[in-house]
C-alpha cells in the first residue's frame, strides 16, 4: 500500500526504493517472517511493475524492484507465475536495457530471469518477441554488449547470467514458444557464444559448471548445426574448452561431473562423434577425470559412458581409438572405479559396458584387462547390475575368454560353473541366455560347432538349425556380429517358425523367437542390431508359435512375448493398425499371462510388457482385459503367488500400468480392483522405488493413474457394517499417503489441475480419521496426507476449515504413546499452523498437547525435532497469548532439553533454535529472561556443534541477538564464551550476507553494557573479520549499517580506538558505504571518520 501511494502520487525515487525494500523485507527469510505465501493475491506484483515503468530512468529503482521480484519468485512457483503475468515482459526488459552499464542492474536482471524460468510455459507467457529478448539479455551480459565490454561484467553477474540461461534452457519445452528449439531463439551461434563466456570466466568454478550445463542442455544438440564440417569444428572446440576448464580447476568434482556429462550426453558426441583426434582428447579427459580424488560415482558413470561411445565399432577409426584408450590408461581407470564402487549398480553397469567396448577386437586391451583382474570385476558387475548391464558384463567376459589363460582361470575360479547354474533359471532373459550359453559352450570346448554363422545346407536336422540360431544369437548380443547376415537370418527364422502347422520343436521354437526378439530391437542396450524394416507378417509367425506352444512351454512363451513386445515398440503405428493383428496379439498374449501368471514370473513379465506395447497402439482394447485377467494378477493362487505382491518390480510396474488402463475404462471392476490391489503390493512397489532407477518417475506416474479411478470414492463409500472395513480403510489410506508424497508431479496429479480434487481428498481423509480414531495406521496416514498436500495457505485453510487440524490434535491425545504417530502428527501440525485461526488453536489446547507429546517421548529424535518445528510454527502466528502460554508450559525448557539430548543432530538444532528465536522476539522481557536462563547453554552448544550449517548459525545468532538485550542474560553470554563463537561464525560464513547481518546485530548487543557503561575490547584479528565483511558485502546496506554500529560501539574504549586507527582500510570502507548507499547510517559513519586519526581521513 505504501508503494502504491508512492507510485500514484509520483513520489520521489527514495520513497519508492524505501517502499520496495519494505516489500522485500516482508518475505520469508527476512525480518521475522516465516513459512507461507505472504502474497495470496495473484496481482501483488502490479505496484512493483508500475514502479518499474514510472521510474525506469532510475538504476536504483530498477535494481531494487528486480531484486525484490527475484526474491519473491525464489520462494515458490506461484509467485514466479504472478510476476510473469502481472509485470509486462516488455517493461522489465526495457528497464534492464536502459541501464545496461550498471553492474547491479545486470546481475539482478539475470537473477530475476533465472527465477522466472521455473514457471512452466514462461517463454510462451512472455510472447514470441519478448521471449527472444529474455533469452538474448543474459547472452548480451556475457558478451559485454551491456556495460561497455565484457571484461567489466564481474563474476557475480556472469554467474547469474549463466544461471538464467541454464534455467531458461532446462525448462524450455516445445510449447515455449511452439515448435521453436531453444538454440534457434538465440542470435548468432549460441554454442560459440557460450564457449566464449566459459573461457572468459575461467577463474570461477561456478561459471564453468553453469556454462558446461548450458552446453549440455541447450546448445549441445547436433541438430543446431546443419553443416557436418561445422559440427566437427564445434565438437573439437568444445572438447578443447572442456580440457582447459579441467586443467584450470582440477580439484573441482562438480566441474568434472559437468564436463563428462556434456561428453556423455550431448548428441554432438553420442551421435556425431568428432574426428579421431578429438575423440582421443575426450578419452584423455575422461580418464584424467576418473582418476582424480575424491572418487565420484557420477564422474565414474559419465566417464565410462564416454569410453563406451568413443569405442563403438560403428565409429570411424574405432580400432585406433580403442588402442589409444588402452595406451592412455582407460582400462586401468575403469577397473579402478569398478573396484571403488562395488555396490553401485550404475557404475558397475557402465563399467562393464566400457570394458566390453574397449576389449572388443583388441588383444592388447584384453591382456591388459585380464592382468588387472577384470574377470573378478565383471563377475561383481554381473551380480550387482541387472537387465542389459548383465549382458555387457557377460559379453566382456566372452571377449576376454578368447585368451586360453583367462578361460582356464575362469574355469578354476568357478565363474563358468556359476553361469552354467544361471542357465537353469527359467526367468533368464533370452538375450542374456544366448550370451551365457555361448560362453559356457566355449568353456566346454564346443566352440567350432556353436560358432557356425552360416545356415545349414540341404536337409538339415533340428540340431543343426538350433546350433545356427544359437551361434548367431550369441554373436548378436555379444556385439561381435560383423559376420552375421541379418537378412538371411530373418528369412531362416521365418521359415522355421512358420513351417509346420504345430510349430517347430520347443527348443528350436524358443531359439527362433529369441532371434526375432533381437531382430525387432532398434539398437537398445542388449543389441547393436541395425534397424530392419518389419511388417505384420514378421510377428504373425511368432504369434502362431506362441498360440501353438506357449500355453504349455514357458520358454517359448517368454521368448515369443519378448519378440511381440519389441515388434510393437519399434513398429510404426500405421504398420500395426490392422483390425485383426492387434486384437489377435492381445488375445494370444493375455492367454499366456493367465496361463503362466501365477507360476512363472519371467514369462509373466514379458507377457505384461507385450500387452502394454499393444495397448500403446490402441488403448481402447484395454476393455477386453476385464474379468479373469484382472483376477489373475491381483489374487492368490493355490501356489500362494500374487503377482502384485511378488517382489519383482518390473512385474508390479507392468501390473500397475495395465490395471490403470483397465480401471480408466472399466468401472464395473473398480471396487474389486481396489480391494485386491491396495493390499496386494502396490504400496511396497512405491516404497521400494530407488533414486538410481531411471524409470522411477514413470512408475510413479503409472501408479497415479490408478488413484484417479476412484480411490477417494472408495474411502467415502466405506460400509461401516463390513467387518473388514477398517482393514480396507487402512490399506486405502496407506496408498493415498504414499502417493501424495512420492513426488511433486504425483502430488499435483493427485490434486488434479487447478487443485480441483483437493477438497474431496481432504473430506475423505477427515472422515476416515473420524471413523477410526483408535487406528494408528489411519491416523498416521491421514496426518501425512495433510502434510503432503498442504502446498499453500489456501490449502492449509481448507484443511483447517474441514476440521483437519482438530483431527490431528485429537490423534495426538488419543494415541499419545505411539511415537511414530506422534511424530507424523507434529509434522502435519507444523505445516498446517499457517492456515489455522488463532482462536481454534487456543480452543484445542494446541500448545499444551504439543509440549506434553514432547515430554512423553524425550528419547525419540523425530518427535523432538517435529515438536520443536510445531512450536516454532505456533509461535510464528504472532499471538502474544499463545507465546506466553508456550513459555508458561515450559516449552522453552523442553526444547532446550532436546537440544542438549541430541547434541549431534543438526536438524534438532535448526528447528530448536528457530523456535527459541521466535519465542524471544515475541514475548515480554520477563518471559524472555525465563527463556534465556534455561536455553542459553543449549543455544551456545548447538551453535558450536553445527557451526558449518548456514541455517543453524543464522537461527542461533538470531537467538543471541534477542537474548542479549537482557542484562542478566548478556552476563551469561560473556561467561559462556559466546563472543568468540560469534566471531567464528562470522568468519566461516563470511560470504553469506544473511548470517553476517545477524552476527553483527548480535555483536551490537553483546559487546556493550549500557547499564555499566562498559564496552568489550576488540583484538586486531576480530577487527580484521569485520573489515573483511564490509569489503565483501559493500552492496548490502544492512550489513554495512550493522558493521558501522558495532565499530561505533567499540570507539567508547581508547584501547579499541587505537587498534582501529592502525587499520589502513577502515576509513575507506566507511566512506565507500556512505557513497554506495547515500546515507550516513544515523550519523555513525561521520562520527567514526572524525574519531579515526587525521592521517587516515
The pLDDT of residue 661 is: 61
Mean pLDDT, rounded, for 179-207: 69
Separation of alpha carbons 986 and 988, rounded Å: 6
Mean pLDDT, rounded, for 832-853: 83
* Between residues 1074 and 690, the one the model is more confident about: 1074
- pLDDT(165) > 90: no
Q: For residue 195, which of 151, 159, 143, 147 has the smallest C-alpha distance?
A: 143
Largest CA distance in the chain: 113
Q: 444-453, 742-751, 853-862: which range is least confident on average?
A: 444-453
Q: Rounded mean pLDDT of the chain?
A: 76
CA dihedral angle for residue 832, residue 834, residue 836, residue 837, rounded to 10 degrees: 160
Place of cell 474379468: 627
- pLDDT(456) > 80: no
Mean pLDDT, rounded, for 605-626: 80
- pLDDT(179) > 50: no
Mean pLDDT, rounded, for 1029-1038: 90
Q: 690-699, 732-741, 934-943: which range is least confident on average?
A: 690-699
Separation of alpha carbons 19 and 4, rounded Å: 9
The pLDDT of residue 705 is: 41
The pLDDT of residue 8 is: 66
- pLDDT(1091) > 90: no
Q: What are the tens digits of pLDDT across the range 471-485?
A: 888 777 766 667 778
- pLDDT(967) > 70: yes
CA 133 to chain CA centroid, Å, is 30
Mean pLDDT, rounded, for 299-319: 80
Per cent of the chain over pLDDT 70 is: 74
| Contacts of 290 by beta carbon, 8 Å cutoff, 6+ apart | 299, 300, 303, 304, 333, 334, 336, 337
Place of cell 525464489: 74
- pLDDT(214) > 80: no
C-alpha cell at 246: 579441467
Query: Is residue 953 helix, strand or coil?
Result: helix
The pLDDT of residue 704 is: 43
Mean pLDDT, rounded, for 394-419: 74
The pLDDT of residue 452 is: 62
- pLDDT(865) > 90: yes
Q: What are the tens digits of pLDDT across the range 53-97?
A: 888 888 888 888 898 888 888 888 788 888 888 888 888 888 888
* Between residues 253 and 861, the one the model is more confident about: 861
* Between residues 693 and 899, the one the model is more confident about: 899
C-alpha cell at 675: 480391494
Q: What are the tens digits of pLDDT across the range 695-722?
A: 554 544 444 444 443 456 556 666 666 6
- Cβ atoms 994, 954 nearer than 8 A: yes
The pLDDT of residue 899 is: 92
Q: Phi, psi at residue 142, to the nearest 5°? A: -65, -40
| Contacts of 445 by beta carbon, 8 Å cutoff, 6+ apart | none
- pLDDT(174) > 70: no
- Cβ atoms 615, 661 nearer than 8 A: yes
Place of cell 464395473: 668
Separation of alpha carbons 707 and 705, rounded Å: 6
Q: What is the number of other CB atoms lying within 10 angstroms of the CB of residue 415? A: 21
CA dihedral angle for residue 156, residue 162, residue 166, residue 168, rounded to 10 degrees: 100
Please, what is the Cα angle at 205 between 204 and 211, to 5 degrees? 90
Separation of alpha carbons 70 and 74, rounded Å: 6
HSE value, Cβ hemisphere, 13 Å, CA-based, for 224: 25
Mean pLDDT, rounded, for 744-754: 68
| Contacts of 1034 by beta carbon, 8 Å cutoff, 6+ apart | 1040, 1069, 1072, 1073, 1076
Q: What are the tens digits of pLDDT across the range 558-583?
A: 889 988 988 888 766 555 556 678 88
Beta bridge partners of 718: none
Separation of alpha carbons 643 and 834, rounded Å: 44
Compute the Cα dihedral for 330, 336, 338, 344 and give only its sign: negative
Rg, Å, the chain Cα set? 34
- pLDDT(587) > 70: yes
In this structure, the chain runs to a length of: 1097
Q: What is the number of other CB atoms lying within 10 angstroms of the CB of residue 1020? A: 10
CA-to-CA dists, residue 936 to 656, 933, 943, 963, angstroms: 54, 6, 11, 8
Per cent of the chain over pLDDT 90 is: 8
| Contacts of 522 by beta carbon, 8 Å cutoff, 6+ apart | 529, 531, 570
Element of type H or E holding 1015? strand 1014-1015
- pLDDT(898) > 90: yes
Q: 257-266, 620-629, 917-926, 956-965: which range is least confident on average?
A: 620-629
C-alpha cell at 380: 561383481
- How would you write 289-319 as a 3-class SS string? HHHCCCCCHHHHHHHHHHHHHHCCCCCCCHH
Separation of alpha carbons 76 and 581, rounded Å: 50
CA-to-CA dists, residue 703 to 687, 741, 742, 1058, angstroms: 12, 13, 10, 71
- pLDDT(388) > 90: no
Q: 250-254, 823-827, 994-998: which range is least confident on average?
A: 250-254
For residue 1030, name the pLDDT band (cuts at 50, 70, 90).
very high
Amino acid at each position: 500500500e505504501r508503494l502504491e501511494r508512492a507510485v500514484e502520487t509520483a513520489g520521489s525515487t527514495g520513497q519508492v526504493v524505501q517502499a520496495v525494500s519494505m516489500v522485500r523485507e516482508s518475505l520469508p527469510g527476512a525480518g521475522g517472517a516465516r513459512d507461507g505465501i505472504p502474497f495470496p493475491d495473484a496481482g501483488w506484483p502490479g505496484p512493483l511493475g508500475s514502479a518499474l515503468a514510472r521510474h525506469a530512468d532510475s538504476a536504483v529503482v530498477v535494481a531494487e524492484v528486480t531484486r525484490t521480484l527475484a526474491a519473491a519468485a525464489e520462494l515458490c512457483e506461484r509467485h514466479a507465475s504472478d510476476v510473469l503475468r502481472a509485470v509486462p515482459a516488455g517493461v522489465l526488459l526495457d528497464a534492464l536495457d536502459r541501464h545496461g552499464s550498471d553492474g547491479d542492474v545486470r546481475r539482478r536482471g539475470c537473477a530475476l530471469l533465472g527465477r522466472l524460468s521455473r514457471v512452466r510455459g514462461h517463454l510462451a507467457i512472455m510472447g514470441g518477441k519478448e521471449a527472444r529478448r529474455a533469452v538474448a539479455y543474459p547472452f548480451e551480459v556475457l558478451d559485454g554488449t551491456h556495460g561497455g565490454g565484457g571484461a567489466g561484467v564481474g563474476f557475480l553477474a556472469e554467474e547469474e547470467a549463466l544461471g538464467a540461461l541454464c534455467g531458461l534452457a532446462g525448462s524450455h519445452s516445445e510449447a515455449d514458444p511452439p515448435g521453436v528449439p531453444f538454440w534457434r531463439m538465440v542470435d548468432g551461434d549460441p554454442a560459440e557464444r557460450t564457449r566464449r563466456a566459459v573461457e572468459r570466466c575461467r577463474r570461477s568454478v561456478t561459471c564453468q559448471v553453469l556454462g558446461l550445463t548450458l552446453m549440455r542442455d541447450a546448445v549441445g544438440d547436433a541438430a543446431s548445426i546443419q553443416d557436418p564440417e561445422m559440427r566437427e569444428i564445434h565438437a573439437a572446440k568444445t572438447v578443447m574448452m572442456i580440457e582447459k576448464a579441467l586443467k584450470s580447476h582440477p580439484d573441482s568434482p562438480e566441474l568434472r561431473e559437468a564436463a563428462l556429462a556434456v561428453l556423455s550426453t550431448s548428441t554432438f558426441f553420442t551421435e556425431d562423434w568428432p574426428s579421431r583426434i578429438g575423440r582421443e582428447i575426450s578419452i584423455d579427459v575422461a580418464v584424467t577425470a576418473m582418476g582424480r580424488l575424491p572418487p565420484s560415482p557420477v564422474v565414474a558413470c559419465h566417464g565410462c559412458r564416454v569410453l563406451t561411445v568413443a569405442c563403438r565399432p560403428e565409429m570411424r577409426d574405432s580400432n585406433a581409438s580403442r588402442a589409444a584408450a588402452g595406451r592412455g590408461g582407460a582400462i586401468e581407470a575403469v577397473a579402478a572405479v569398478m573396484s571403488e564402487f562395488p555396490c553401485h549398480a550404475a557404475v558397475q553397469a557402465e563399467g562393464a559396458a566400457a570394458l566390453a567396448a574397449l576389449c572388443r577386437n583388441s588383444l592388447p586391451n584384453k591382456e591388459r584387462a585380464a592382468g588387472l583382474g577384470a574377470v573378478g570385476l565383471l563377475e561383481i558387475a554381473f551380480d550387482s547390475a541387472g537387465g542389459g548391464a548383465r549382458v555387457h558384463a557377460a559379453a566382456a567376459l566372452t571377449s576376454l575368454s578368447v585368451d586360453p589363460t583367462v578361460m582356464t582361470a575362469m574355469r578354476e575360479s568357478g565363474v563358468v560353473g556359476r553361469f552354467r547354474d544361471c542357465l537353469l533359471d527359467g526367468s533368464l532373459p533370452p538375450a542374456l541366455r544366448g550370451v551365457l550359453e555361448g560362453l559356457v559352450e566355449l568353456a566346454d570346448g564346443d566352440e567350432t560347432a556353436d560358432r557356425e554363422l552360416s545356415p545349414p545346407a540341404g536337409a538339415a536336422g533340428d540340431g543343426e538349425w538350433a546350433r545356427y540360431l544359437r551361434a548367431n544369437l550369441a554373436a548378436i548380443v555379444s556385439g561381435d556380429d560383423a559376420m552375421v547376415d541379418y537378412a538371411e537370418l530373418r528369412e531362416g527364422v521365418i521359415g522355421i517358425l512358420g513351417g509346420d502347422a504345430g510349430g517347430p520343436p520347443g527348443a528350436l521354437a524358443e531359439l527362433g523367437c529369441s532371434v526375432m526378439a533381437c531382430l525387432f530391437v532398434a539398437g537398445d542396450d542388449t543389441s547393436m542390431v541395425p534397424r530392419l524394416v518389419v511388417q505384420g507378417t514378421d510377428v504373425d509367425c511368432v504369434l502362431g508359435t506362441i498360440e501353438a506352444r506357449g500355453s504349455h512351454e514357458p520358454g517359448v512363451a517368454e521368448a515369443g512375448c519378448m519378440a511381440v513386445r519389441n515388434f510393437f515398440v519399434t513398429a510404426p503405428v500405421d504398420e500395426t493398425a490392422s483390425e485383426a493383428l492387434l486384437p489377435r496379439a492381445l488375445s494370444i498374449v493375455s492367454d499366456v499371462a493367465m496361463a503362466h501368471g501365477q507360476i512363472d514370473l519371467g514369462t509373466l513379465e514379458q507377457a505384461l510388457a507385450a500387452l502394454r506395447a499393444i495397448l500403446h497402439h490402441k488403448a481402447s482394447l484395454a476393455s477386453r482385459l476385464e474379468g479373469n485377467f484382472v483376477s489373475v494378477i491381483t489374487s492368490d493362487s493355490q501356489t500362494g503367488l500374487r503377482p502384485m505382491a511378488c517382489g519383482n518390480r518390473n512385474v508390479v510396474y507392468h501390473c500397475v500400468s495395465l490395471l490403470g488402463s483397465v480401471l480408466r475404462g472399466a468401472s464395473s471392476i473398480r471396487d474389486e480392483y481396489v480391494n485386491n490391489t491396495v493390499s496386494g503390493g502396490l504400496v511396497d512397489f512405491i516404497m521400494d522405488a530407488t533414486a538410481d532407477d531411471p524409470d522411477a518417475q514413470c512408475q510413479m506416474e503409472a501408479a497415479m493413474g490408478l488413484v484417479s479411478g476412484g480411490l477417494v470414492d472408495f474411502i467415502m463409500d466405506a460400509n461401516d457394517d463390513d467387518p473388514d472395513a477398517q482393514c480396507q480403510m487402512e490399506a486405502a489410506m496407506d496408498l493415498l499417503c504414499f502417493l501424495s508424497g512420492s513426488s511433486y508431479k504425483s502430488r499435483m496429479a493427485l490434486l488434479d489441475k487447478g487443485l480441483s480434487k483437493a477438497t474431496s481428498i481432504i473430506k475423505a481423509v477427515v472422515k476416515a480419521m473420524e471413523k477410526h480414531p483408535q487406528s494408528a495406521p489411519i491416523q498416521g496416514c491421514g496426518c501425512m496426507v495433510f502434510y503432503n498436500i498442504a502446498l499453500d495457505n489456501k490449502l492449509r485453510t481448507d484443511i483447517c476449515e474441514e476440521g483437519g487440524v482438530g483431527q490431528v490434535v485429537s490423534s495426538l491425545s488419543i494415541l499419545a504413546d505411539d511415537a511414530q504417530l506422534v511424530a507424523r502428527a507434529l509434522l502435519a501440525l507444523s505445516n498446517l499452523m499457517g492456515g489455522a485461526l488463532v482462536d481454534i488453536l487456543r480452543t484445542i489446547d494446541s500448545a499444551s498437547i504439543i509440549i506434553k507429546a514432547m515430554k512423553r517421548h524425550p528419547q525419540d529424535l523425530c518427535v523432538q525435532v517435529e515438536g520443536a518445528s510445531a512450536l516454532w510454527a505456533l509461535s510464528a502466528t504472532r499471538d502474544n497469548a499463545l507465546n506466553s502460554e508456550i513459555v508458561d508450559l515450559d516449552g522453552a525448557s523442553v526444547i532446550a532439553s532436546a537440544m542438549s539430548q541430541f547434541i549431534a543432530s543438526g536438524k534438532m538444532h535448526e528447528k530448536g533454535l528457530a523456535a527459541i528465536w521466535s519465542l524471544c522476539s515475541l514475548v515480554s522481557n520477563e518471559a524472555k529472561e525465563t527463556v534465556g536462563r534455561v536455553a542459553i547453554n543449549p543455544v551456545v552448544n548447538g551453535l558450536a556443534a553445527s557451526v558449518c550449517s548456514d541455517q543453524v548459525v543464522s537461527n542461533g545468532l538470531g537467538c543471541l541477538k534477542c537474548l542479549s538485550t537482557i542484562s542478566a542474560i548478556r552476563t551469561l553470554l560473556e561467561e559462556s564464551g559466546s563472543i568468540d563463537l560469534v566471531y567464528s561464525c562470522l568468519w566461516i560464513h563470511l560470504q553469506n550476507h544473511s548470517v553476517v547481518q545477524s552476527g553483527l546485530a548480535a555483536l551490537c548487543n553483546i559487546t556493550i553494557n549500557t547499564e555499566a557503561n562498559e564496552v568489550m575490547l576488540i583484538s586486531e584479528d576480530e577487527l580484521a573479520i569485520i573489515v573483511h565483511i564490509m569489503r565483501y558485502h559493500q552492496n548490502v546496506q544492512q550489513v554495512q549499517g550493522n558493521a558501522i554500529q558495532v565499530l561505533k560501539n567499540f570507539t567508547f574504549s581508547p584501547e579499541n580506538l587505537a587498534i582501529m586507527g592502525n587499520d589502513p582500510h577502515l576509513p575507506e570502507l566507511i566512506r565507500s558505504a556512505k557513497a554506495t548507499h547515500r546515507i550516513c547510517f544515523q550519523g555513525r559513519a561521520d562520527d567514526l571518520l572524525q574519531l579515526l586519526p587525521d592521517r587516515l581521513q
